[in-house]
Amino acid sequence: MSGTWGSKIKLSIFGESHGAGIGIVIDGIKPGFKIDKDYIMYQMKRRAPGDGKFSTTRKENDEFEIMSGIFNGRTTGTPICAVIRNENTKSKDYEKTKNLMRPGHADYTGYIKYEGFNDYRGGGHFSGRLTAPIVFVGALCRKILYDKNIVIGSHIKSIKDVNDRSFDISDDSLNVKKVEGLSKQEFPVLDSSVREKMQNTILNAKKDGDSVGGIVEAAVVNLPAGIGDPFFDSIESKLSHILFSIPAVKGVEFGAGFDITRMLGSEANDEYYMTKDKSVSTYTNNNGGILGGISNGMPLIFKVAIKPTPSIAKVQRTVDIDKKENESIEIKGRHDPCIVVRALPVIESAAAIAIMDLL
């Protein structure tokens, strides 16, 4: 299997949800970058389980231990290795149903691919738990980008059929301070009037033993023009590759995305103008700050579709892979009724890593 990603910056993740721990090795970070452990821990806690009524009750502190690549608070230029111990596992929850292929999970595909030798506890290596190391690297990259005045932020665009408004260059939603401030909100939205309705949608699904999904919209502000390459190393290609590596991601759109197909060319094209400081800008941003796979200096905007959490309390139809019989399953354990809120820092981290690789 492949647990690696990247060209200039290379990542390799390891571990399983209920194993001793999870971790990551990062190669390609230049020497001399100052490491802000408090900032990394802040981003890790945004993703960590066990906080709030919208999350699983599995409590993991996600304390990280840096094994190599950092000395006296700065990167050495050698591979950085970080480990996060698993502290709160209830593996027995999975023993009774180990032969029942959970709908929506990778149990069946993993069983076939790895001939039944895969670790099924909590999803094993397929688990969203493996996104914690991605946030570790993302936080490191975000701080480096922030020092270059490149800021990344995201908001909950939708939960099920409840929608927030979108980022728009014609208003102040893409103001650097506002984009940066989104990560300080527990439930970030642009229009505060939809927050409670979104939250109630999650809680109602939880009450019914079900789950919901949603869309995250992210922005990268102050990305210079000229970053990226056409075709295989385009910004879209690089970002999509790592974004689709996040469990539960089922779609990625840039700019207006699929909605651009409903426009005329005269509407879809982002017309140029010269600003007062003689820099080139556009009146609209339907292409999401990317043309020909290369940044044009406008905010990089993309949306990510997150499916409903597959672990639900309702009785579902499945098969017993050992007995080769039809069965039913009622999933026990601790699960998120919606993973969109915890996905925000993961998506932002993936974007930071991809941008670092492109830079």
Per-residue pLDDT reduced to its tens digit, 123-149 = 878 888 889 999 999 999 999 999 999
Annotation-wise, does 79 bind a ligand?
no
| 92-96, 117-121, 174-178, 254-258: the lowest-pLDDT one | 92-96
First to last CA, the chain: 28
Which residues partner with 102 through β-bridges? none
Annotation-wise, does 247 bind a ligand?
no
Q: Are 80 and 26 in contact (CB under 8 A)?
A: yes
Which position has the higher pLDDT, 92 or 349? 349
Q: How buried is residue 103: exposed, middle or buried, by Cβ count under 10 Å (0-12/13-18/19+)?
A: middle
Global pTM reads 0.92
Annotation-wise, does 311 bind a ligand?
yes
Residue 267 is predicted with a pLDDT of 97
Per-residue pLDDT reduced to its tens digit, 243-275 = 999 999 999 999 999 999 999 999 999 999 999
Q: Helix axis angle, 340-358 relative to 131-146, nearest 10°?
A: 50
Annotation-wise, does 281 bind a ligand?
no
Q: Are 161 and 155 in contact (CB under 8 A)?
A: no
Which residues partner with 162 through β-bridges? 159
Annotation-wise, does 37 bind a ligand?
no
Annotation-wise, does 125 bind a ligand?
yes
Annotation-wise, does 2 bind a ligand?
no
Residue 97's CATH number: 3.60.150.10
Annotation-wise, does 262 bind a ligand?
no
Annotation-wise, does 193 bind a ligand?
no
Per-residue pLDDT reduced to its tens digit, 230-239 = 999 999 999 9
Helix, strand or coil, per DSSP, at residue 91: helix
Q: Are 300 and 223 in contact (CB under 8 A)?
A: yes
Look up the domain containing 231 and give its range. Answer: 4-358
pLDDT band for position 25 (cuts 50, 70, 90): very high
Q: Are 185 and 154 in contact (CB under 8 A)?
A: no
d(CA 54, CA 359): 36
DSSP state of 261: G
Burial 206-231 (b: 16+ CB within 10 A, else e): beeeebbbbbbbbbbbbbeeebbeee
Q: Are 179 and 219 in contact (CB under 8 A)?
A: yes
d(CA 203, CA 138): 30
CB atoms within 10 A of CB 87: 12
Q: What are phi and psi of 15, to 5 degrees?
A: 110, 170
Annotation-wise, does 302 bind a ligand?
no
pLDDT band for position 114 (cuts 50, 70, 90): confident
Annotation-wise, does 160 bind a ligand?
no
Give me the number of domains the chain comprises.
1
d(CA 297, CA 284): 12
Q: Can you read off the two tokens belonging to residue 36?
A: 């802000």
Pairing state of beta strands 280-282 and 325-330?
Answer: unpaired
Annotation-wise, does 126 bind a ligand?
yes
DSSP state of 326: E
